[in-house]
Structure 1
């Protein structure tokens, strides 16, 4: 049986700020338990809810050297949904209300986390064949394992995989400081290793030293080889392209299922959505104080409000989007200018725009269930989970053809009667607007075609099952 250890900075249900947590929390459940023993390691943040902390058992504690300092490491363990989770405990690093803080603090925090994770393995009676690292927070791990840990035969032959969830975040900080924090020798701070443009770059180090690199969709794996999407690492990614695989994220189909979802007003499925789905719309309209009308075209947006997600296109076209025959429901927080934009339009058109500038899991489920279309005009999107949720809930996605959006949404073709959503190619506000208008036209004037679109979307299978098989193949290939 192959043993695999996931190491990540956030994992559902314990702590979450983004899609990374969903992936690391869901994927281990779907990997074949007869052939793989998959366990997960993450920091024991103070911010983890008490209900989970109460169930943790103490496993071991010891001290490690982090450069010139001695630091305490505690290891706690819990089993959740049949998966074993280990928590690295150190109050100095993992206190505070959120998993991340100032980057200079995070740089030291995750250097500690990488070293502590590796150091704890011999005392856990678990020697992984493969350590699967996620994003820059674990970028030092593949370096450490080939450096200080090589003297210990326990670590010989352990392979590493580095998964890029979003190349924009790389863990970059001053080289001298990083050298001091990590205790790594000058040998590692060369341009072909950790150094990038004069600074130290954690993600780059991980990409250089990992045995395999994966990212979260096939298109994104191609895109990041180009300067536009490559975030200054396209040269390295091209150099390592023979070790790079794109594997699409899945969606947890147990949590996101309109037939059984307890958070929505009216459950429905592929067979009865024509009758039942709109009841969620009317309920949401009542809840948000919008004009009650089950026939009006309702567009949903659930997102971080950042420029990566294409909000400057929406900003440019918002007056046209908020036409009288359309309702717009937004949920999320982010850059102030976009928060104010939606608040302003809610004030201006209170009967047809609802701006929910906060995050609520319950409300997000209700928006997926209630809306007719879901807008996602991203500048780049490594994988994206919102469009997968939309398809699952029979809400037709309107997306830009980039990254995972291109891989998961098939554009509607009225001549062949195919497709599961609407898409546009260029990062252009008018192109987006034309696509929204085209979708609206189909919704109002070709209702049977629209329902077939919904039907095909709800028939898609983007559960973890197929993605898990690809990861299994990858683990076996090492």
Structure 2
């Protein structure tokens, strides 16, 4: 199988935590089973390009993403994980990712006001990149809140694009919340892409929990990535008919994606 992993955090490029660890270990497991695995993450300004040997993919240059009616250049960089035969692709843009912080300003501690736009750009940038690479995954596994829009865009914005037909989407939930909301006008920014607002009505108030709910709504499989998740999220999952993988140490591809294995069979 071809498996694409999407995460905003990944060891060794960001500090170690549950999300960045899972973003490394899950690809290692599936890659070790002989699958074709690739990873995408943002090229945050905290990442030392020289030390980690990032280089720009020239053949992917010239792409632009429109976010809220603003045309933004998309730069793709790539590196190889040390000791692993896996490539990591970095979504880059000076407006969104050059700053020396991941989600918040390092000096003030304030959450970036455009984190919603960064999430939209990250999502669309990945999907446009794999299309240009002509690398069609069987499974996209999105992890964490910054990847929560991936299921939504795959199942709505790209629904009529034959390249994305039959791709299954897995969404892993991690308890790494932010306070407050992403943006007062996040709904209008997504609606600009002509996605029906009923598909993401939770984002009338774009809190951490509501963002996760949007990811849950459009995923084929939902995975509990942290041992403990907010009660509101666990209760919401129980009300859905989603294939749900509870928190566990996984050893095989079909343990990770049981319903997808059934589909492949």
Indicate the TM-score class for this superposition, using the shorter chain for normalisation: 0.7 to 0.9
User: Does structure 2 conserve the Cα–Cα contact (< 8 Å) formed by 1:103 and 1:171?
Assistant: no
Paired with 2:70 and 2:242, the residues of 1 have a C-alpha distance of: 39
Q: SS of the counterpart of 1:7?
A: strand
Paired with 1:77 and 1:131, the residues of 2 have a C-alpha distance of: 18
Q: SS of the counterpart of 1:150?
A: coil
Identify the residue that residue 236 of structure 1 maps to in structure 2. 236
Q: SS of the counterpart of 1:151?
A: coil
Of the candidates 171, 180, 197, which is equivalent to residue 188 of structure 2?
A: 180
Paired with 2:6 and 2:179, the residues of 1 have a C-alpha distance of: 16
Which range moves more in the overlay, 178-187 or 205-214?
A: 178-187
Q: Give me the CA root mean square deviation.
A: 2.7
Paired with 1:207 and 1:28, the residues of 2 have a C-alpha distance of: 21
Identify the residue that residue 15 of structure 2 maps to in structure 1. 16
Paired with 1:159 and 1:170, the residues of 2 have a C-alpha distance of: 31
Identify the residue that residue 69 of structure 1 maps to in structure 2. 70
Please say if 1:48 is aligned against 2:47: yes
Q: For 1:323-380, what per-residue CA distance to the aligned partner results, in whole angstroms no more than 9, with x for missing partners?
A: xxxxxxxxxxxxxxxxxxxxxxxxxxxxxxxxxxxxxxxxxxxxxxxxxxxxxxxxxx
Please say if 1:199 is aligned against 2:205: yes
Paired with 1:242 and 1:10, the residues of 2 have a C-alpha distance of: 25
Paired with 1:216 and 1:181, the residues of 2 have a C-alpha distance of: 28
User: Does structure 2 conserve the Cα–Cα contact (< 8 Å) formed by 1:5 and 1:39?
Assistant: yes
User: Does structure 2 conserve the Cα–Cα contact (< 8 Å) formed by 1:31 and 1:472?
Assistant: no
Deviation for aligned residue 1:103: 4.5
Paired with 2:149 and 2:128, the residues of 1 have a C-alpha distance of: 13
Which stretches in structure 2 are left out of the alignment for 5+ residues?
105-110
| Aligned positions, number | 249
TM-score (ref. length: structure 2) = 0.82
Identify the residue that residue 261 of structure 2 maps to in structure 1. 476
5 Å-filtered alignment, 1:219-298, equals 220=228, 229-231=230-232, 233-240=233-240, 242-249=242-249
Deviation for aligned residue 1:161: 0.6
Which stretches in structure 1 are left out of the alignment for 5+ residues?
250-463
Please say if 1:29 is aligned against 2:35: no
Paired with 1:148 and 1:171, the residues of 2 have a C-alpha distance of: 27
Q: SS of the counterpart of 2:57?
A: strand
Identify the residue that residue 388 of structure 1 maps to in structure 2. none
5 Å-filtered alignment, 1:295-374, equals none
Identify the residue that residue 108 of structure 2 maps to in structure 1. none
Paired with 1:126 and 1:248, the residues of 2 have a C-alpha distance of: 30
Identify the residue that residue 151 of structure 1 maps to in structure 2. 160
User: Does structure 2 conserve the Cα–Cα contact (< 8 Å) formed by 1:139 and 1:206?
Assistant: yes
Q: For 1:420-441, what per-residue CA distance to the aligned partner results, in whole angstroms no more than 9, with x for missing partners?
A: xxxxxxxxxxxxxxxxxxxxxx
Paired with 1:237 and 1:184, the residues of 2 have a C-alpha distance of: 27
CA 469–244 in structure 1, closer or farther in 2 if over 3 Å, else same = closer
Please say if 1:92 is aligned against 2:92: no
Paired with 2:178 and 2:238, the residues of 1 have a C-alpha distance of: 19
Paired with 1:8 and 1:122, the residues of 2 have a C-alpha distance of: 19
Of the candidates 213, 216, 223, which is equivalent to residue 225 of structure 2?
A: 216
Deviation for aligned residue 1:240: 2.0
User: Does structure 2 conserve the Cα–Cα contact (< 8 Å) formed by 1:31 and 1:468?
Assistant: yes
Which range moves more in the overlay, 27-36 or 38-47?
A: 27-36
Q: SS of the counterpart of 2:10?
A: coil
Deviation for aligned residue 1:18: 2.6
Which range moves more in the overlay, 92-101 or 4-13?
A: 92-101
User: Does structure 1 conserve the Cα–Cα contact (< 8 Å) formed by 2:116 and 2:182?
Assistant: yes
Larger RCO: 1 or 2 (CA < 8 Å, sep 6+): 2
Deviation for aligned residue 1:468: 5.9
CA 474–49 in structure 1, closer or farther in 2 if over 3 Å, else same = farther
User: Does structure 2 conserve the Cα–Cα contact (< 8 Å) formed by 1:170 and 1:202?
Assistant: no
User: Does structure 1 conserve the Cα–Cα contact (< 8 Å) formed by 2:41 and 2:89?
Assistant: yes
Deviation for aligned residue 1:208: 0.5
